[in-house]
Amino acid sequence: MSDQPSKMKWFRSLDGEDFRRMATALCGGLLLAVMTGPEGSITQPTYAVRESLFTAHVYGYIVFGLVIGLLLTYRAKVKNGSWRQIRSAPRRTLVDHAASIAASTRLVALGVTALLSLFAGLLFADFSGPVAANKFSWHAFAHQFVFTRTYGYLALAIALWFTAANQITLLTRVRIRSLSRITIVVGVLIAILFFSLAADPFLPPRFTVRSLNPASQSSVFHHWTTYLWLGVGLLAIYSYLRKRDRVANAKSPRRLERMAISPSMRMVGYLGAGFIAIEAPKFLSLYWQISLYQQIGVYCLLAVGLNIVVGFAGLLDLGYVAFYALGAYVTAYFSGALPLQPPFHLNPFLVIPFAIVIAMLSGVLLGLPTLRLRGDYLAIVTLGFGEIIYVLANDWVQVTGGSPGTGSVNGFDVNLLGVHYGWSAANPLSYYYLMIAVLIPVIVLFDLLNNSKVGRSWAAIREDEVAAQSLGINALKYKVMAFAMGASTAGVAGVFTAVKVGVLFPNTFVLQLSITILVLVIFGGMGSILGVLVGAVFLQWLPAYLTFHSYFGYQQSDLYLYIGALLVVMMIFRPQGLVPSRRRQREFADAESGQGSADALGPITQEMPQ
Amino acid sequence: MTGGFAGYFYLHYTIGNHPAPSNLWLSLYYIVTGVLVSGIAGTLVALIIERFAYRPLRRRNAPKLAYLISAIGASYFLLNLFGKEFGRYPEGTSQPFNDHVVTTILGAQFTMYDFVILVASVILMVALDFIVSRTKMGRAIRAVAQDAETASLMGVNVNRTIGTTFALGGFMGGAAGFFVAINQGIAYGMGFKPALLAFTAAVLGGIGNVRGAMIGGVVLGIVMFTPIYWFHQPWLEEVIAFTVLVLILLFRPTGLLGERLGRSA
């Protein structure tokens, strides 16, 4: 009897706030059930809700809501001290865990990671190979070893493992005897050779050992990718050797600990990413080869451009699609596809500068009057501008062709110095490589820009505009600059879309697209180019994948429902995004504790101009 | 949009497919109750949005960018939820009164609908103006708009006042949705353009100035529709509204009547 109250204590500590939290979580579960339920209609308004709430599948969502509610309650209770935490050990990061495991059982851990990376390499080789009926049969698996490509992947895996092991030893200060330079150089050269073998596996003969014969027409030495990868590999060796020297000179152990991502690891990362970006699409099916350009590549470009506005400058642009449409229609104009005929026809490559200039000019014209006042007006003004461009494309038939669409847009082609090449829809990968060739310089450029004086000015304006201005930074100039740069990137993306789809319809450029691009930026992490790319690739891949694998009752028409919900959820729980930029994350935290701001939406001047 | 849908269902279940009532008092009853039902539905939705999309951010003192993004996300979510639950096709609404031409002034036809909406909006706007400028609640709203921190020191419950503001805005939006619904029918995207135009009208009149916003609405309406009358291109409407918005921002950012309240979002 006497210890009854102490057993009931946890229950007594619940209060109204906890019940409110539970109820919210439960309602959230039910809302999810409704969101994923069937479509309703106006004639039977309760049908959809009834079908989604009073059938069996709703229990899963209720349980989901309950679990989330309990977790939230637990977290809040532990935080305010009325409950004790179940686990008493301090929280450790994944790196800590990895380090302690490696330190305790060094050889075993290294061996296990080596085996894992070997297995990963083989798996990659297997899945990238020719389509076999049963990928998991031993026969098909063993068959992979006939192809040199397999050895290329293995070499890549070993290189990855080597850097990972290096990291572990660096972090735990476990010394493994360093390999001599000669061993590394020879090893990497051999790896590169296999790498090159793996590089261009369009035709089956190139997979085999025969292709090492320089006399053969299908030999690897006849393909430029071999030399590309050789060059890249040599650069990697150079940077690795330089880094080794630097690490050897770094005496302070603290310095070593802080190098969580060493230059060599970063180099291997870039190398791996580049290799995968260039080689992997060749093994994809036609559907994904097309959507790599159309759904993912173009959206990466758009997201990287919007990232300048939202992430770097801290402004909000809700009519981003307008500049995208401008770029596309400028391309159509110079192809003679619009009712309004151009003075001269242009190759789409030559239209790109025009698209940049026109999108940039409209960005400046729009941004200058708006940003002079308050940053938050920009959101509404751009929203209006997006709507106007759509209306013009849809209804101004004399100029844009209206809703039936434009005529056909010229394709890309090159006729220069004896080289004649035309991009055609028959080869979707050619478009993909073109997109890569544009995307990578753009990313490098924007990254450099963010680390330059301009980027620092953006950061200063975001964090404290008044202080930035008192230091002589022209806030208006940098804001308009960011806005116009974002706009011109969208214009370039518009050119690429116009050329690929061939015929433009105004419905492609609805305002909802701006929201979609905004989600790509917010989800990945505004201000972080890597995050934005991750967000764009993931969020563009997922709907395309779910379209023909309908999990969780996903329906194509509900896409914007989820996108809207995702925006709110991200803002409430993780405004900095999944892969946040470190600076932006700190800004959000600072702004919430009352220091500075995380956006440039405040008034530039205290007095309004009269 | 919510108001429009609420009005639709209200009229659908009361009038249904019957012909519009010809009795004046019955029509008036339907209009008044319809406005109330739609307004209350709008209020509820506004409060829900405030509770789930804004208050968590305000509690954390989040930057303004987060509010804007959360707001646009919430509006898209609601829009598409309505589209999903009630179908994505526009639908006509039962009529609470017979829409006929009442009188002709200078060649322009005034229909019953024009007359009803004119009277109703004057009543609603006078009521709103009274609430904001004369009541204790209105004083609290203005105080929070000027300086939330000082207002809270003076004993104003900031959270509740912001909730009230949302409720008021929601009620007005819902009532407007009702009138759009009886005239043009309903669709899940029906609220988007009016919201854009409403912002333009507010900037035209001067942000934070209730009377200015009313005058701004009237002026914007005249400016928008006159060129359409000349050129017979109905899509010009939005282009003109937008041009007006940019021109105001360029030349008279304080609006026609000037800003009254302190600037804080």
pLDDT at A592 over 80: no
Mutate to test the interface with B, among A568, A586, A592 (most CBs of B within 10 A): A568
Q: Which residue has the higher pLDDT, B245 or A136?
A: B245
The pLDDT assigned to A210 comes to 52
Tens-place pLDDT, residues A295-328: 788 899 999 999 988 888 888 888 888 899 988 8
Nearest CA in chain A to B263: A603
Given an 8 Å threshold on Cβ–Cβ distance, is A377 in contact with B259? no
Higher per-residue confidence, A210 vs A557: A557
Which secondary structure element, helix H or strand E, spans residue A415, and what is its range? strand A413-416
Residues of chain B with Cβ-Cβ distance to A592 below 8 Å are 60-63
Number of cross-chain residue pairs from A and B with Cβ atoms under 8 Å apart: 175
pLDDT at A196: 52
Cβ pair A391:B238 closer than 8 A? yes
Q: Mapping DSSP to helix (H, G, I), strand (E, B) and coil, where does residue A217 land?
A: coil
- A388 contacts B263? CB cut-off 8 A: no
Residue B17 has pLDDT above 80, yes or no: no
Closest CA to A603 of A486, A461, A506, A488: A461
Per the CB < 8 Å rule, is B242 touching A384?
yes
**What average pLDDT does this structure show over A532-543?**
84
Q: Bridge-partner residues for B111, per DSSP? A: B101
Return the H-helix or E-strand segment holding A200. none
| Cβ separation B196–A392 shorter than 8 A | no
Please state whether A528 falls in left (phi above 0), alpha (psi between -120 and 50) or beta: beta
Contact A565 B77 (CB under 8 A): yes
* CA nearest neighbour of A322 among B238, B32, B63, B121: B238
Interface predicted TM-score of the whole assembly (ipTM), two decimals: 0.80
Query: Which H or E run contains B150?
Result: helix B148-153
| Predicted TM-score (pTM) of this structure | 0.73
What b-and-e string marks burial along A322-361, b requiring 16 or more CB atoms within 10 Å of the CB? bbbbbbbbbbbbbbbbbeeeeeeebbbeebbebbbebbbe
Record: contact B66-A380, CB cut-off 8 A: no
Phi-psi region of A596 (alpha: psi -120 to 50; beta: other; left: phi over 0): left
CB contact under 8 A, B193 and A369: no
B64 contacts A599? CB cut-off 8 A = yes
Q: Check whether B262 has a pLDDT greater than 50.
A: no
Query: Got the DSSP string for A98-143?
Result: HHHHHHHSHHHHHHHHHHHHHHHHHHHHHHHSS--S-TTSHHHHHH
* Residues A591/B61, Cβ–Cβ less than 8 Å: yes
**Cβ atoms of A201 and A149 closer than 8 Å:** yes
Decide if B218 touches A, using CB distance below 8 A. Answer: no
> Which of A362, A364, A357 lies closest to A479, judged by CA?
A364
Give, in order, the Cα–Cα distances in Å from A96 to each of A91, A164, A295: 10, 14, 38
The letter for the amino acid at A147 is: F
Question: What's the farthest any 2 CA atoms get from each other in chain B?
Answer: 58
Count CA atoms within 13 Å of residue A72 on its CB side. 18
Name every chain B residue with its beta carbon within 8 A of the beta carbon of A597: 63-64
Assess B197–A contact: CB distance below 8 Å, yes or no: no
Mean local confidence (pLDDT), A322-348: 81
**Picking from A104-118, A379-393, A508-522, B3-17, which range would have the lowest pLDDT averaged per residue?**
B3-17
Rounded to the nearest integer, the mean pLDDT of chain B is 77
More confident residue, A228 or B112: B112
* A506: helix, strand or coil: helix
CB contact (8 A) between residue B53 and residue A568: yes
Contact call for B246 and A370, based on CB within 8 A: yes
| Rounded Cα gap, residues B85 and B77, in angstroms | 12
User: Residue A277: pLDDT above 70?
Assistant: yes
CB contact under 8 A, A567 and B62: no
CA angle, corner B16, sides to B11 and B18, nearest 5?
120
pLDDT of residue B152: 82
* Binary contact (B246, A568; C-beta < 8 A): no
Compute the average pLDDT of residues B136-142: 85
What's residue A176's pLDDT?
46
A354 three-state secondary structure: helix
Q: Is some CB atom of chain A closer than 8 A to the CB atom of B129?
A: no
Instruction: Kindly state the average pLDDT of the residues A226-250.
Output: 63
Residue in A closest to B248 by C-alpha: A369
pLDDT, residue B113, reads 79
Q: Which of A238-242, A350-354, A578-582 has the lowest mean pLDDT?
A: A238-242
Nearest by CB: A598 against B65, B83, B87: B65
Joined tokens for residue A579: 């892969």
Amino acid letter, A264 = S
Q: What is the pLDDT of residue A489?
A: 92
Backbone phi and psi for residue A318, each to the nearest 5 degrees, phi listed first: -100, 0
Among A20-24, A602-606, B62-66, the range scoring the smallest mean pLDDT is A602-606
Lowest mean pLDDT among A278-287, A298-307, B235-244: A278-287
Interface test with B, best of A21, A41, A42 (most B CBs within 10 A): A42
Which of A80-84, A160-164, B93-97, B152-156 is least confident?
A: A160-164
Tens of pLDDT, residues A171-214 = 555 444 455 555 666 666 666 655 554 443 333 344 445 555 55
A422 forms beta bridges with A413
Chain B residues in contact with A376 (beta carbon < 8 A)? 64, 68, 265
Query: Does the pLDDT of residue A144 top 60, yes or no?
Result: no
What the block records as the tokens of A592 is 């919430």
Interchain CB distance below 8 Å, A591 and B62:
yes
User: What is the per-residue pLDDT across A127-136, written as a single tens digit (0 to 9) for each?
Assistant: 554 444 444 4
Best mutation target among B84, B94, B240 (most A Cβ atoms within 10 Å) is B84
Pairing of strands A413-416, A419-422: antiparallel
Is B264 within 8 Å of chain A by CB? no
Please list the residues that pair with A41 across neighbouring strands.
Answer: A44
Burial A472-493 (b: 16+ CB within 10 A, else e): ebebbebbbbbbbbbbbbbbbb
Tell me which residue in A45, A373, A558 faces B80 most closely, judged by beta carbons.
A558
Q: pLDDT by residue (tens digit) across A221-234?
A: 655 656 666 676 67
Mapped onto helix, strand or coil, the DSSP state of residue A557 is helix
- Identify which has the larger pLDDT, A255 or A230: A230
Give the start-to-end residue ranges of the domains of chain A.
4-80, 94-283, 289-512
Quote the pLDDT of residue A603.
Answer: 44
Contacts of B89 (CB under 8 A, 6+ apart): A42, B187
Percentage, residues of chain A above pLDDT 70:
59
The Cα of B242 is separated from the nearest Cα of chain A by a number of Å equal to: 6
Nearest to B196 among A384, A594, A603 (CB): A384
Paired tokens of A540: 């563009």
CA dist., res. A325 & res. A394, Å (int): 11
- Measured between alpha carbons, how far is residue B57 from residues A183, A488, B108, B201 in Å? 57, 32, 50, 28
Give the distance, in angstroms, between the CA of residue A179 and the centroid of all CA atoms in the same chain: 36
- Nearest C-alpha of chain B: how many angstroms from A313? 11
